[in-house]
Amino acid sequence: MEPKVAELKQKIEDTLCPFGFEVYPFQVAWYNELLPPAFHLLLPGPTLAFLVLSTPAMFDRALKPFLQSCHLRMLTDPVDQCVAYHLGRVRESLPELQTEIIADYEVHPNRRPKILAQTAAHVAGAAYYYQRQDVEADPWGNQRISGVCIHPRFGGWFAIRGVVLLPGIEVPDLPPRKPHDCVPTRADRIALLEGFNFHWRDWTYRDAVTPQERYSEEQKAYFSTPPAQRLALLGLAQPSEKPSSPSPDLPFTTPAPKKPGNPSRARSWLSPRVSPPASPGP
């Protein structure tokens, strides 16, 4: 890894990793090459970017302390607020650089996602994006099958949170890092995609590989609980329901409601989400 990339990666990791996040560098060109122009990141190809994902540890190290802090605001998802807060700290840790941060939930006015998170995770080498096209002679006929990323150490027990772009920092010699193909057989890929698309409520697709760590029972209960009841589940009071102006601690605008992706076999790199449309949580 180039010294410049290693130095910046270390700074971002120092900011995020103690709170249960992981960071992976990639070139904007690697992402754009897989997508039609409408989805491109409008930066030179060699521009340095970092993918950020959360591990099971994020719940205790970042989310719960955030929920107990004064930062939480009504009307936006607490996990999205927490992630925005920590990604904002990345910007603060790099004051000498121009930074652009895109969270996984952000969309353009026309509802097109600003970042296709699973594609970014694949090109960054963070997690393998398994899709219908990865199954030879698939058995699903005309059914729509969404793809899913699997992490080599956490299986499906993680979530992609966003990207940090560094305009002006170009790394044309950064070597690509291929994601680890941890579900190599046709039978296992069929089981993974069927579990993700048809049986996501039982969580078992996340065990496509034996994970180093899973979500705790408390964490699973939190994400399975209707959003309005989640704070009570953790013994926390619901914040005021009066709309408030954005906190200066949060670098993003209020997230728009999430809209399910509409992937197809021919354009499967366009699936933006890591969870099925009705999934209870990350």
In contact, 106 and 243? CB cutoff 8 Å: no
Q: Kindly state the greatest CA–CA separation across the chain.
A: 54
pLDDT, residue 227, reads 80
Cα gap 25→3, rounded to integer Å: 13
| pLDDT given for residue 233 in this prediction | 77
Buried b vs exposed e over 62-81: b needs ≥16 C-beta within 10 Å? bbbebbeeebbbeebbbbbb
pLDDT at 229: 83
Q: In angstroms, rounded to a whole number, what is the distance separating the alpha carbons of residues 213 and 175?
A: 29
- Cβ-contact 82, 62 below 8 angstroms: yes
What residues in the chain have per-residue pLDDT under 70? 70-76, 236-281
Predicted confidence at residue 272, as pLDDT, reads 47
**Spatial contact of 127 and 149, defined as CB atoms under 8 Å apart:** yes
Q: What is the pLDDT of residue 255?
A: 36
Q: For residues 222 and 201, what is the distance between their CA atoms, to the nearest angstrom?
A: 13
CA 113 – CA 168 distance, rounded (Å): 23
pLDDT at site 204: 96
Tokens at 235, concatenated:
């013994």
